[in-house]
Amino acid sequence: MLERQPRNKTDFQPLDWRRSDRDDIMARIAAAGLIGMGGAGFPVVAKLRSGIQYAASTIIANGVECEPGVNADRALLRHYLPDVLEGLRIAGACLAKPALILAVSDQSIYQAFVDKGELGITCRLVADAPSNGEERTLIGSLFSDEIPTTRYPSQCGYIVFNVATLFAICEAVRDGSRPRDRLVTLFGEETWVELDTKLGDIGQTGATLRLGSTATGRMASNDDVVSLTTNAVEHGIDDQQRACIHCGWCDAVCPRHLPVEAMLRQIQSATRPITLSSEVNACFECGACVVQCPSAIPLLDLLRSAKREVENERRKQVADLRFQQHTVRAAETIKQESITRSTRIETRRQW
């Protein structure tokens, strides 16, 4: 069993959500300051409001964990399944009788759910492959429905919450407590970690700390803290980077079918700007290529920096264009003013 610091006091009055108004539940969720704990950190209340506005008919509890080496969501589902399901029902109470779906990628959790059975909640098993837990991919595999990249799933009838978010919703509403800790895969072991714990205080420090899994995590230092969106703390790739041998494994494994190897060549060459910019932006950072790479190239770090570079380049072009237009317009304004002035001087009354 996972060890968790007991709490002695609650932050709010526990709320009997079955007898409460929708607005009270939403106000409580807002007061607890809940954000999506799957990684993106989208505010929970904003997602629910958008779901209400667009009459979302489905809420999906996303327990599909596909980052290699991360098991925080699995551990949560194993040990706290009733709380997660209650969180799902609470979220469901904010909408007009939506379908409640629990999506998991772990056979044993699926079996445990099916054995027990839960009224009004359906459990779906999804293949345990990289990127299957991404919400648009998940909706695609569950309902064969494609969400356009210009819209949120909540505007298209689906609300997707990570299971850790639902657990936090349950604790905030039923028990009246703000999220104070979260389940994190800490160097391969699932542990409850208090929020705002510095990585330096956890132990096992090193130059290669990562917030997130080995493959997809961001480079971090000892001063970075565990936040609501941290699902893992790991070391980076434990291997010397070697030259790219153009084997193309990264291309083959990319779930978005992006030309990873071509992008890497552009990033590593001195040719600027990066012309594969839309491809770079289409990467959703699943880390599948990092796992595949036989030369231990930190592809995701390079792609992330390329994304920043592409964005910076776009911003520069816009600023240049806007400055040129501004200059032309400002000159015209000055000319107009001088014309107005000279005609006024000419037409003034002679004394």
Partner 1 sequence: MFEEVVLVSLTMAGIGITLSGGIAALAKWTESRQPIDSLVERVNGLLPQIQCAKCGFPGCRPYAEAVIAGERIDLCPPGGSDTVQALGHLLNRPVDVPAETMDSDQVAFIDENTCVGCARCIPACPVDAIVGAERYTHTILQEHCTGCELCIPVCPVDCIDLHKRAVHA
Q: Where do contacts with partner 1 occur on this chain (CB under 8 A)?
A: 273, 304, 307-308, 315-320, 322-327, 330, 333
Of the two residues 107 and 338, which places its CB atom closer to partner 1 in the complex?
338
Of the two residues 316 and 341, which places its CB atom closer to partner 1 in the complex?
316
Of the two residues 325 and 336, which places its CB atom closer to partner 1 in the complex?
325
CB of 194 vs partner 1, minimal distance in Å: 26
CB of 54 vs partner 1, minimal distance in Å: 23
CB of 306 vs partner 1, minimal distance in Å: 12
CB of 227 vs partner 1, minimal distance in Å: 15
Of the two residues 239 and 320, which places its CB atom closer to partner 1 in the complex?
320
Of the two residues 53 and 284, which places its CB atom closer to partner 1 in the complex?
284
3-class SS string, the chain: CCCCCCCCCCCCCCCCHHHCCHHHHHHHHHHCCCECCCCCCCEHHHHHHHHHHCCCCEEEEEECCCCCCCCHHHHHHHHHHHHHHHHHHHHHHCCCCCEEEEEECCHHHHHHHHHHCCCCEEEEECCCCCCCCCHHHHHHHHHCCCCCCCCCHHHCCEEEEEHHHHHHHHHHHHHCCCCCEEEEEECCEEEEEECCCEHHHHCCCCCCEEEECCCCCEECCCCCECCCCCCEEEECCCCCCCCCCCCCHHHHHCCCCCCHHHHHHHHHCCCCCCCCHHHHHHCCCCCHHHHHCCCCCCHHHHHHHHHHHHHHHHHHHHHHHHHHHHHHHHHHHHHHHHHHHHHHHHHCCCC
Length of the chain: 351
CB of 320 vs partner 1, minimal distance in Å: 5
CB of 218 vs partner 1, minimal distance in Å: 11
CB of 313 vs partner 1, minimal distance in Å: 8
Of the two residues 245 and 318, which places its CB atom closer to partner 1 in the complex?
318
Of the two residues 204 and 323, which places its CB atom closer to partner 1 in the complex?
323
